[in-house]
Structure 1
């Protein structure tokens, strides 16, 4: 076995492995369709290595040579479809099929041309280059702007241009007189080794994009409260840290709110009724808060809102609006006479203040609102921060 045949075997194993990995990743990825296209693309492209070996060691030279061309191009087209799915730049199935058929016809037409000539080399390599260059364009023109996305676009661009470089090398170094001669040339060794490197690079980068998506989804799920759809305590605290990092010298405000008499709601209407109330209240908070606000459910019926670049008085006005909105909540599964109320505590964070301290102040203000009769808004600076004692059981 010569060097080129060795790299053909390596390319086959690499492509098959990537096909399997992408199929597995598709079971967890939000971009499942794209991952399956990638799996199909690498699997189909792997057949080219088999065809190339059959070209050299069987009598059906032309058949297997066309098969090698078609399998590589078909695999790349499937990758292009997957890139389009992933980056929102889909391609029409009719055009992809027409392009594949036209390229195979072109390969048939140039098959008997002298190998190593510019006409044959560039006609053979151009379809591959076009597919990868349009894939790079799909990445660059998408709205995704992460570093890994830019890296993938650059890699696809370099891989597409590399096919033109291969055509030039075939003219300069020679690619054999016939298709059967190809595997024994130095050009084949260089071509297959460079392709192996680029296949691995593209495969790993595509895999990285999907894995990063899975990690982001897992993190989002671990920081989200399933019932209300808001952030849980961990997600709320992380969200606040990120928001404060964007404006470290600004003043902020925190609101802690608690549904009144929630135990009575559960006792009267069951836990399903209580869940519906939590969902409705969560929807109110989410739709009422500004886009840069951080909203979370931090306890059973307790919620928190972080308002960046907001004064205490502005936050208090917002809490009053939420109090009024809460009284207007209707839950279709509960009686029309049913009314929801909530109490609110508001505190401020001066530049450099600790979130935990502000949360404690807002919580103390919330308990004061409860003591005062519930369905109220209290500012932390209006009270002397008494220790909360007896309200917990009667929320």
Structure 2
């Protein structure tokens, strides 16, 4: 075997493993840790046999087979995490144990390279195939479908290598591995399939990482609602011609909450209110925290009377909520301004009208809903229940 090719495989795999670890440190999902571990272990498994000049051959074979078995468990677990497969951890660990113990028989008992390779290939193939057949969520994107397809290709590759054993390493002992046709096939195929496998998985992980950071830039970290940038983006999407409902709500006397019970209680109040908002809005629109205690509910296609009804539902939900769970005493109320964003209108104009109505609600005693009736020259005021 060409020495350059022999070293190219572990170097490439180690580099790919390092990229997965870097992605995990940058905030990628937990699967990146297992992808990285799998490729790092595979790199070690391919590299260790190249040290046969200084390390006993049988020890090399045992360590390499163990590294391969563990690497395939890592690949399997990454697939389970990514595609919500059945975990079945005990069964997977049992396969790992078999993958470590079975090659020992070929290495140390019968001193047979075919027996060792057969045991290692079959258990690695079984580990990956077991993960694939337990996938519960069918991949939705072409990248994910590619990952599943190339995973099955690796299973098939292992099966073909296993079937080739009588022709490629018949009668050899573990010390003769690098003189066999099997080793040439194994390293050549590995460079292609592992590279494709890794690049697809890395593309999927990095794509989600980038999208996650992009989404983080649109979300308020305390409440999980959109921030102002996220609201602007949501409001820029194509809209129905009849206009959209806009509700601005401002928590009443929120500064007193922080001054009296502390900022932790204040944060709890904000989070509890955000959860009420989420339940009320549901799939009818989006909600954002646009200021310290100011929130906006944006309801595409909702006329003003429907937006006013939504504000009323939220107000009543606040009245029913047990605010003592947040660390404060007594109720927490809010003042609401309800407006409509016309089809051709900038969001900012509708928000300004709703803001003015919020101040009107506060002047009129707080815990009120002021509704913009400017389309017919009328302003409605809905007092607290």
Q: TM range, normalised to the smaller chain?
A: 0.7 to 0.9
Using a 3 Å threshold, how does the CA distance of structure 1 residues 347 and 367 change in structure 2: closer, same or farther? Answer: farther
Matched, 1:232 2:227: yes
- Displacement of 1:303 after TM fit? 1.0
Which residue of structure 1 aligns with residue 72 of structure 2?
76
Using a 3 Å threshold, how does the CA distance of structure 1 residues 216 and 52 change in structure 2: closer, same or farther? Answer: same
- Displacement of 1:255 after TM fit? 1.3
Which residue of structure 2 aligns with residue 301 of structure 1?
293
Matched, 1:183 2:178: yes
Which residue of structure 2 aligns with residue 156 of structure 1?
151
User: Which residue among 39, 42, 47 is the counterpart of 1:45?
Assistant: 42
Q: Distance in 1 between matches of 2:32 and 2:357?
A: 51
The residue correspondences of 1:231-270 to structure 2 (distance < 5 A) are 231-241=226-236, 244-245=237-238, 251-262=243-254
User: Which residue among 104, 121, 124 is the counterpart of 1:125?
Assistant: 121
TM-score (norm. length: structure 1): 0.76
- Displacement of 1:251 after TM fit? 5.0
- Displacement of 1:347 after TM fit? 1.3
Using a 3 Å threshold, how does the CA distance of structure 1 residues 61 and 121 change in structure 2: closer, same or farther? Answer: closer
User: Which residue among 359, 369, 381 is the counterpart of 1:377?
Assistant: 369
Q: Distance in 2 between matches of 1:278 and 1:94?
A: 43
Which residue of structure 1 aligns with residue 96 of structure 2?
100
Aligned residues: 373
- Deviation sequence 1:53-82 (CA, Å, 0-9, x none): 355x57944443344333222321232133
- Displacement of 1:265 after TM fit? 5.6
Moved more, 340-349 or 82-91: 82-91
Unpaired runs of 5+ residues, structure 1, are 387-395
- Displacement of 1:199 after TM fit? 1.9
Using a 3 Å threshold, how does the CA distance of structure 1 residues 137 and 309 change in structure 2: closer, same or farther? Answer: farther
Using a 3 Å threshold, how does the CA distance of structure 1 residues 254 and 65 change in structure 2: closer, same or farther? Answer: same
Q: Distance in 2 between matches of 1:104 and 1:87?
A: 26
User: Which residue among 312, 337, 341 is the counterpart of 1:344?
Assistant: 337
Moved more, 71-80 or 376-385: 376-385
Q: Distance in 1 between matches of 2:186 and 2:242?
A: 58
Using a 3 Å threshold, how does the CA distance of structure 1 residues 64 and 365 change in structure 2: closer, same or farther? Answer: same
CA contact (8 A) 2:315 2:333 kept: no
Using a 3 Å threshold, how does the CA distance of structure 1 residues 129 and 377 change in structure 2: closer, same or farther? Answer: same
**DSSP-derived class of the 1:26 partner:** helix
CA contact (8 A) 1:364 1:385 kept: no
**DSSP-derived class of the 1:145 partner:** coil
Q: Distance in 2 between matches of 1:268 and 1:102?
A: 63
CA contact (8 A) 1:345 1:365 kept: yes
**DSSP-derived class of the 1:315 partner:** helix
Q: Distance in 2 between matches of 1:59 and 1:280?
A: 63
CA contact (8 A) 2:118 2:162 kept: yes
Q: Distance in 2 between matches of 1:294 and 1:277?
A: 20
- Displacement of 1:304 after TM fit? 0.5
**DSSP-derived class of the 2:373 partner:** helix
Unpaired runs of 5+ residues, structure 2, are 379-385
Using a 3 Å threshold, how does the CA distance of structure 1 residues 11 and 347 change in structure 2: closer, same or farther? Answer: same
TM-score (norm. length: structure 2): 0.78
